[in-house]
Amino acid sequence: MVPASLSTTGSVREGRRRVRRSTARRNKLTRNRRQGLCMMRAARRATQFARMGWRYELQGCELWKNG
């Protein structure tokens, strides 16, 4: 009975450590993705502003954000 409990505690500890590591990696990924989306949005806004009026640009941005 003792070795089984020890193995379970070890597995739980490993799982917790793995989850913490994955959360850190996820935060880094989300931060990079957010920066990339902001850059993409700025570029798209500039191109749309140059092509047509800012009104259509705002409509496109809202549709893209919701969809």
**Alpha carbon distance, N-terminus to C-terminus of the chain:** 54
> Domain total for the chain?
1
Residue in 48, 49, 45 with CA at minimum distance from that of residue 37: 45
Residue 6 has a pLDDT of 53
Residue 17: pLDDT over 60: no
**Mean pLDDT value across the chain:** 62
From residue 51, give the alpha-carbon distance in Å to each of 38, 39, 58, 59, 61.
20, 18, 13, 14, 15
Instruction: Please tell me which of 4-8, 17-21, 30-34, 50-54 the model is most confident about, judged by mean pLDDT.
Output: 30-34
Average pLDDT (25-32) is: 71
Amino acid at 19: V
Identify the domain containing residue 12 by its residue range.
2-66
Question: What is d(CA 39, CA 41) in angstroms, rounded to the nearest whole number?
Answer: 5
